[in-house]
Amino acid sequence: MAVAAAQKAAERGEGASREREVREGSRPRKALTIGAVAKILSQEFDDISISKIRYLEDQKLLAPRRTPGGYRLYSQADVERLQAILRMQRDEFLPLRVIRQELATGAFETERRPSGEVGQKRRALTVDSDVQTLSADELVEQAGISPDFLRELADYGVVQPERREGRVGYDETDLEIVRAAAELARHGVAARNLRVFRTSADREAALLEQLLGASLRSRSQARRREALENLENLAAVCGNLKQLLLVRDLRRLKGSDE
């Protein structure tokens, strides 16, 4: 109890010192001290503390700027990022490595969403996750497609079912792939045209295997765990890079509005 009280007192003292430095310095408009951020977050997260915010920074989940005296200053974007991190921890029970991957994509959302739907999509997008298996009939029903369309996707290698105990099975990643393919099909994109995505994914996987394959096969459990975290992060970065390159090219395609 005494230690906890001393820690809270130290945090209050640090927050007060930081507030003084901000007032005395040339603080940009809307910059927040760590104490102010903790107060904002406490409205939704009862267990938030200054030390927890520091811990998330130590885990490379955010990087607030610093004053010349070394105190942290947070932008509104930093606050929203923290809200997203804390919600993913609280609502979806995600480990920090998965949260780090989600943040690396640049596509995290801060609003509350149905946990079942989000959990399924997260598992589908995560390399080291226990995805649920589906039969062909279950996949067809959940994706809202025809069996013929599923067979066509398999013929072109867009989905790759596995045979388990004599039965053909799919998983939640296959389900999300099929849903995406069905959406493209509604715009006239045939299954054969999706081979370009399959080829691109194979090349990216080969690149990451060159970088991390040896570590993933290491006898050291710690080294394998670190390599798996790096694999998750790099996969997210590759996906984000591909999205950015596509947006850049589509912006050129759009042309000028002038």
Question: Quick one: tokens of 251?
Answer: 């912006």
| 151, part of any domain | yes
- Pair 222, 237 in one domain: yes
- From 75, 109, 143, the end of a domain falls on 109
Residue 177 lies in domain: 127-189
* pLDDT at residue 101 in the model: 74
Q: Quickly count: other Cβ atoms within 10 Å of residue 242's Cβ.
A: 14
| Residue 137: CATH number of its domain | 1.10.1660.10
Task: Please work out, in degrees rounded to the nearest 5, the angle formed at the alpha carbon of residue 167 by the alpha carbons of 162 and 172.
Answer: 50
CA 234 to chain CA mean position, Å: 11
Average pLDDT of the chain to the nearest whole number: 81
Question: Quick one: tokens of 25?
Answer: 């310095």
**pLDDT over threshold 50, residue 24:** no
Beta strands at 72-73 and 133-134: parallel, antiparallel or unpaired: unpaired
| Least confident range of 123-127, 158-162, 194-198 | 123-127
**pLDDT over threshold 80, residue 22:** no
How far is residue 64's CA from residue 13's CA, in Å, rounded to a whole number?
20
CB 148 within 8 A of CB 140: no
Return the higher-pLDDT residue of 228 and 12. 228
Q: Provide the percentage of residues in the chain whose pLDDT is more than 70.
A: 77
- For range 117-129, the mean pLDDT: 62
- Pair 52, 35 in one domain: yes
Whether the predicted model's global pTM rises above the 0.75 cut: no
Q: Give pLDDT tens digits for 28-82.
A: 457 899 999 999 999 999 889 999 999 999 988 999 999 888 889 999 989 999 9
- Pair 24, 92 in one domain: yes
